[in-house]
A and B are shown apart, each in its own frame.
Chain A
């Protein structure tokens, strides 16, 4: 009641503000051109070897981020017999009802050194026997369990490095790394779990020592480093949506043995860094050894939903950028959202793949996005594989804002969801809500994709917005059949800008990417709310999430199907409606796609050929990371971490669960 009263009281003031702000909105934004590179070697010479290993020694299995296993013991004909061979409960989880904040655990287990390693959201490293799940050792970083930069304690696990020729009996020839919320990066011996004294100070590097500009919070180490040769490539996560001016998004290359800084990359030009921030790299990265190129997904500059402080182009913001691994210098860059006003962070490692298009070999890179676009470029040069068109997009009226006149749209593959028109209302939700959804839709602006945040009515309809589209699981790729697999969410959210006086009167019960956020320093606070009725039912028509296979020879969809099921209070909705998804797939030479990611806390196997569901099992919480697939002593295993993510629902887990065929 109180909230409604406040809305009514502030409505005239908002209308007045909208009229005034029209006069102040600027129109001078210049779209930066793509930064391309000349090709140095042929596509054939740049070919990525098909993985032959039995290991899964990095976040996405390989540095190409293909999430591909060459193993065939488990295949589409026998995957239905898959059984749980062991499970391990770390004990490191919290529902958030006590003193400890809730946990979000999105770790992919790492299989290396004949051991399965996991890092937990309480910042412990656990080494497990791959065959039995028996504990080998644990290491507790004794990190403070405080959600300093995030709404929850989060971890996406560990990274692994080893010397080229490790010497037996010598400590820290093989190392496991884990970061924490307070920007500390720990290195421990992979055999014993003891700190590597030569790494930083007694086995710890304080990444925050390089947080020198606009520092307001620590550079949280939630994503494990990307290990390339003897380098650790380290990004960071921050406090999205909090401030106008934040730490600029530096990326650091550290020596894997010592933790010393080798180079630093800054996506934001120095002259702009004092006015904005972030454009950080908070997720995994990819690497092409033949080209010596590191591919980084760059997020959006701050504040995320208003850009009047950054009216000059920041060409590397919301981009995929290729860096020289030795120097950290930019080789090419493609900006996927100009002057980002939607928090369309590029949030997953691009997938490197060798494909044949029109009979010619192409060294390709596919960048999945929150927008549901898959951008495909030549990874040597950054040039389009299929045309990427600059198309006119709507403008808005926020005070002091500039709007990019165009945005890039890929022509192939087709968008994973149709953002060209306002999504249809789900009639059942509208009936249950006594017309609440219809009224909500009437009050939401939508002029097509890239409709900018608005002060009017219920704000602007964002489809998709921060929750995606595609999340950090990214695209899996089978290099033999040249089929790409990706899961996507169909989520409608409402973005509204609030002038400072109105914002201060709003309730501030923010959740994980859902609620009110201040953007302190900017003229507007903002709200980002899911479009739901009073019962929590989505107002938009299903499906709410899908898994899609794409023939990368043609860019056409091979098959697509709703994935998973929405589950609320234990009740499952029909699987034909699908589920929002967080996490991603892995694909095998056995013709099987493994994935968790769905709200119903199930892990599934699909046929790569036709998308038929072949197997599923219930796990403790949504498995919001990619699975790991490995072989040990002649047996193939599939490992999931079921840790949950409050973006999907308030269900947390601490389960590592491993499946194999019966002996």
Chain B
């Protein structure tokens, strides 16, 4: 029994970590505005939807940490791109400018994951 894969050093997946932190930050900011009186979006369906989207963005970041190279990773990255663009748009319609900044940071994480070094497949 032998392994055929060459040694690959563990990848730090900086982009995914940025995505996770940025998504949590965006979620916290939007949640604050959702619950804070007189924020302009207090208790609104739009803020709730945006929070849900930010939660999904967080999950995508976690999935990127867990998945190796391949079709699933590419699909998660696609969702990351689409989700980031859509959520930035939704947050901007909420006039949530700090949320938009957090989501732009999230987009940086997606860029890193998309164009940075790819993780290798697990050795078989």
A pairs with B: yes
Specify the chain A residue showing the minimal Cβ separation from B40.
A618
Per the bound structure, the CA–CA distance linking A601 and B37 in Å amounts to 13
Specify the chain A residue showing the minimal Cβ separation from B49.
A569
25 contacts between A and B (CB under 8 A): A567-B40, A568-B46, A569-B44, A569-B45, A569-B46, A569-B49, A570-B40, A570-B46, A570-B47, A571-B44, A571-B46, A571-B90, A571-B93, A571-B94, A572-B40, A572-B94, A572-B95, A601-B40, A602-B40, A618-B38, A618-B39, A618-B40, A619-B38, A620-B37, A620-B38
* Mask: chain B, 21-41; 1 = CB below 8 Å from A; 0 = not: 000000000000000011111
Give me 14 other A-B pairs in contact (C-beta within 8 A), A618-B38, A619-B38, A620-B37 excluded.
A567-B40, A568-B46, A569-B44, A569-B45, A570-B40, A570-B41, A570-B47, A571-B44, A571-B93, A572-B40, A573-B93, A618-B39, A618-B40, A620-B38
Specify the chain A residue showing the minimal Cβ separation from B33.
A570
B80-100 residues with Cβ-Cβ distance < 8 A to A are 90, 93-95
Q: Does A600 contact B (CB under 8 A)?
A: yes
Question: What is the minimal beta-carbon distance from B94 to any residue of chain A, in angstroms?
Answer: 6
Per the bound structure, the CA–CA distance linking A570 and B43 in Å amounts to 8
Per the bound structure, the CA–CA distance linking A619 and B40 in Å amounts to 7
Q: Find chain A residues with CB under 8 A from B95 CB.
A: 572
Q: How many A residues, CB 8 Å from partner?
A: 13
Question: What is the minimal beta-carbon distance from A532 to any residue of chain B, in angstroms?
Answer: 17
Q: Find chain A residues with CB under 8 A from B44 CB.
A: 569-571
Per the bound structure, the CA–CA distance linking A210 and B13 in Å amounts to 81
A518-577 residues with Cβ-Cβ distance < 8 A to B are 567-573
A606-627 residues with Cβ-Cβ distance < 8 A to B are 618-620
Specify the chain B residue showing the minimal Cβ separation from A618.
B40
Specify the chain A residue showing the minimal Cβ separation from B91.
A571
Per the bound structure, the CA–CA distance linking A570 and B45 in Å amounts to 7
Question: What is the minimal beta-carbon distance from B72 to any residue of chain A, in angstroms?
Answer: 32
Question: What is the minimal beta-carbon distance from A648 to any residue of chain B, in angstroms?
Answer: 15
Question: What is the minimal beta-carbon distance from A571 to any residue of chain B, in angstroms?
Answer: 4
Question: What is the minimal beta-carbon distance from B100 to any residue of chain A, in angstroms?
Answer: 13
Q: Find chain A residues with CB under 8 A from B41 CB.
A: 570
Per the bound structure, the CA–CA distance linking A535 and B119 in Å amounts to 43
Known: A571-B90, A571-B93, A572-B95. A600 touches B40 (CB 8 A): yes
B46-77 residues with Cβ-Cβ distance < 8 A to A are 46-47, 49
Question: What is the minimal beta-carbon distance from B107 to any residue of chain A, in angstroms?
Answer: 20
Per the bound structure, the CA–CA distance linking A602 and B39 in Å amounts to 11
Specify the chain B residue showing the minimal Cβ separation from A653.
B38
Q: Find chain B residues with CB under 8 A from A573 CB.
A: 93
Q: Find chain A residues with CB under 8 A from B37 CB.
A: 620
* Mask: chain A, 591-605; 1 = CB below 8 Å from B; 0 = not: 000000000111000
Per the bound structure, the CA–CA distance linking A572 and B47 in Å amounts to 11
Question: What is the minimal beta-carbon distance from B97 to any residue of chain A, in angstroms?
Answer: 12
Q: Find chain A residues with CB under 8 A from B45 CB.
A: 569-570
Specify the chain A residue showing the minimal Cβ separation from B41.
A570
Specify the chain B residue showing the minimal Cβ separation from A620.
B38
Per the bound structure, the CA–CA distance linking A620 and B42 in Å amounts to 9
Q: Find chain B residues with CB under 8 A from A602 CB.
A: 40
Q: Find chain A residues with CB under 8 A from B47 CB.
A: 570
Per the bound structure, the CA–CA distance linking A619 and B90 in Å amounts to 22
Question: What is the minimal beta-carbon distance from A236 to any residue of chain B, in angstroms?
Answer: 35
Per the bound structure, the CA–CA distance linking A572 and B41 in Å amounts to 9
Per the bound structure, the CA–CA distance linking A316 and B95 in Å amounts to 48
* Mask: chain A, 130-161; 1 = CB below 8 Å from B; 0 = not: 00000000000000000000000000000000
Q: Find chain B residues with CB under 8 A from A620 CB.
A: 37-38
Q: Find chain B residues with CB under 8 A from A600 CB.
A: 40
Question: What is the minimal beta-carbon distance from B1 to any residue of chain A, in angstroms?
Answer: 59
Give which listed residue, A570, A601, A618, A619, contacts B94 with CB less than 8 A. Answer: A570
Per the bound structure, the CA–CA distance linking A618 and B95 in Å amounts to 12
Per the bound structure, the CA–CA distance linking A573 and B92 in Å amounts to 10
* Mask: chain A, 338-374; 1 = CB below 8 Å from B; 0 = not: 0000000000000000000000000000000000000
* Contact (Cβ within 8 A) B38 A572: no
Specify the chain A residue showing the minimal Cβ separation from B45.
A569
Specify the chain A residue showing the minimal Cβ separation from B46.
A570
Specify the chain B residue showing the minimal Cβ separation from A87.
B38
Q: Find chain A residues with CB under 8 A from B39 CB.
A: 618
Q: Find chain A residues with CB under 8 A from B40 CB.
A: 567, 570, 572, 600-602, 618
Q: Find chain B residues with CB under 8 A from A571 CB.
A: 44, 46, 90, 93-94
Specify the chain A residue showing the minimal Cβ separation from B96.
A570
Per the bound structure, the CA–CA distance linking A617 and B39 in Å amounts to 10
Per the bound structure, the CA–CA distance linking A571 and B40 in Å amounts to 9
Most chain B Cβ neighbours within 10 Å, of A570, A573, A618, A619: A570
Question: What is the minimal beta-carbon distance from A630 to any residue of chain B, in angstroms?
Answer: 23
Q: Find chain B residues with CB under 8 A from A601 CB.
A: 40
Per the bound structure, the CA–CA distance linking A618 and B93 in Å amounts to 15
Per the bound structure, the CA–CA distance linking A567 and B46 in Å amounts to 10
Q: Find chain A residues with CB under 8 A from B46 CB.
A: 568-571
A-B pairs, 3 with minimum CB distance: A570-B44, A570-B46, A571-B93
Q: Find chain B residues with CB under 8 A from A618 CB.
A: 38-40
Per the bound structure, the CA–CA distance linking A95 and B76 in Å amounts to 41
Q: Find chain A residues with CB under 8 A from B38 CB.
A: 618-620
